[in-house]
Amino acid sequence: SGCNLTSNVGARLSQIHLWQEVFYSYLGIPSDEEQATGLERKTLEAMKKGQDPYSILKPKGYAGTREDPHIVPSINKKRLVGCICEEDNSAVIWFWLHAGESQRCPSCGAHYKLVHHDVPH
């Protein structure tokens, strides 16, 4: 009876394998988007719409002026920010950025603005 069960399982697996070959030969292998679920699916759908819900992509460059401040997303009303005032500088100037008006780096004067950012999940 044990051999009979093993042969039935083996036959069933062969049928499934044959079905998969036929299915994928007609429809192709599903893409990442087609088989994504849950949080991965939400992220892929948002990215298709040009949104970046988890800040995966490099942020847009800002001039750092009063009219075009560096945008700093935060889920809180304040955030610690580090400014590298010059491109080849190895020192970081740290300061607290608070919600509201844009603030300036105490060393170089670059403008930063805290904006509220909701976590998408």
**Vertex 102: Cα angle to 97 and 107 (nearest 5):** 65
Residue 108 marked as a ligand binder: yes
Residue 46 near residue 56 (C-beta atoms within 8 A)? no
E runs forming strands in 65-110: 70-74, 78-83, 93-98, 103-104
> Cα(29)–Cα(60) distance, rounded to whole angstroms?
35
Residue 3 marked as a ligand binder: no
Query: Binding site membership for Zn(2+): which residues?
Result: 83, 85, 105, 108
Query: Binding site membership: which residues?
Result: 83, 85, 105, 108
